[in-house]
Amino acid sequence: MTADNSASPIPIPIPIAIPVPTAPDGLTRRARLFVEKDGIRVPAADIRRHRDAWIGHGVPAAQIDRVQAFQDRWGGLALPPAPFYEGGPRILDADSPEGPSAQGWLFGAGACRVSMAYAFMIGPEGAFGIGAGCWTPLHADVNGWVESLALAAHARRWARTVTRITGDDAVERLDLDGYEPVPEVQGLTDNWWRGRDSLIAVYRGEAIALDAPQCLEAHVYNGLDEWGLHGG
């Protein structure tokens, strides 16, 4: 009887390709790098296959076009968690239009990471916000939401200290004299402020949407140099 000296082939692991997203036009350099270095792109739902059904349920074609435009630009983009709103949407992904109502037509912007008392929505004028019975816009555009995520990640990396302030009394006592709004975040209910050596983010959305002043929160990033204040 002869010995079988043939060796079984050793399986070679096949690397898994992680889709690298291309940042949409209109973002700052800081936000573009954030999207392309820290984000991933996963397959997005095909909104077009729902068009006839939505029209049959009375959704205007113009509203479906808005949903499709969002999905073409942002659909499938997964970004690191936000520092508030329990991290924000897990993946930017459009849902069916809701309306009409006194607030106009809205549609979902992506599922929550955890169970929440509200949903992330896109408003009638394109603002990014939260819906909890009432519509509360946070940023005038989805670009502003992404810019705020990028700025928070940048500020955390470069600040010497980060202070979290909670509750309406404490946040309203913040002295913003000498600070200017950060224009790229397109703040509405939420906003960022840039000072001489610090950045301040104020999150009012939950406090307004849930009628809960205790949810008002600010993050103060101190000890920033010129690069830390702007980051591109």
Same domain, 127 and 150: no
Q: Which residue range forms the structural domain that includes residue 218?
A: 146-230
- Model pLDDT, residue 9: 56
Q: Are residues 158 and 118 in the same domain?
A: no
Residue 220 inside a domain? The answer is: yes
Note whether 125 and 172 are same-domain residues: no
Kindly state whether residue 8 falls inside one of the protein's structural domains.
Answer: no
Q: What is d(CA 220, CA 35) in angstroms, rounded to the nearest whole number?
A: 23
Q: Which residues are within 8 A (CB) of 31 and not within 5 positions of it... i.e. 6 or more apart?
A: 23, 143, 146, 147, 149, 150, 151, 184
In order along its 232 residues, the chain shows pLDDT tens digits of: 444 555 555 655 544 555 678 899 999 999 999 999 999 999 998 999 999 999 999 999 999 999 999 999 999 999 999 999 999 999 999 999 998 877 899 999 999 999 999 999 999 999 999 998 889 999 999 999 999 999 999 999 999 999 999 999 999 999 999 999 999 999 999 999 999 999 999 999 999 999 999 999 999 999 999 999 998 7
Sheet holding 106-110, edge to edge: 97-98, 106-110, 119-122, 128-131, 135-139
120 in the same domain as 47: yes
Instruction: Look at residue 17 and tell me if it is in a domain.
Output: no
Would 63 be classed as within a structural domain? yes
Residue 133's pLDDT is 81
Are residues 154 and 196 both part of a single domain?
yes
User: What is the predicted pLDDT for the residue at 127?
Assistant: 98
d(CA 95, CA 204): 25
pLDDT of residue 12: 55
Question: Which residue among 142, 162, 182 closes a domain?
Answer: 142
**Does residue 150 sit in the same domain as residue 132?**
no
- Do 110 and 159 share a domain, yes or no? no
Do residues 116 and 157 both lie within one domain? no
DSSP string for residues in the chain = -----PPPPPPPPPPPPPPPPPPPTT--HHHHHHHHHH-EE-PPP-GGGGHHHHHHTT--HHHHHHHHHHHHHHTTEE-PPPSSGGGSBSSB----EE--STT--EEEEE-BSS--SSEEEE-TTS-EEEESSSEEEEESSHHHHHHHHHHHHHHHHH-SEEEEEESHHHHHT---TT-EE-GGG-BSSSEEEE-SSEEEEEE-HHHHHTT-GGG-EEEEEES--HHHHH--
Q: How far apart are the first and last CA of the chain?
A: 74
Distance CA 205, CA 131 (A): 10
Report how many domains make up the chain.
Answer: 2
Specify the pLDDT at position 15. 47
Does residue 200 sit within a domain? yes
For residue 34, give every residue at least 6 positions away whose Cβ sits within 8 Å of its Cβ, in sequence order, or none: 79, 146, 149, 150, 153, 154
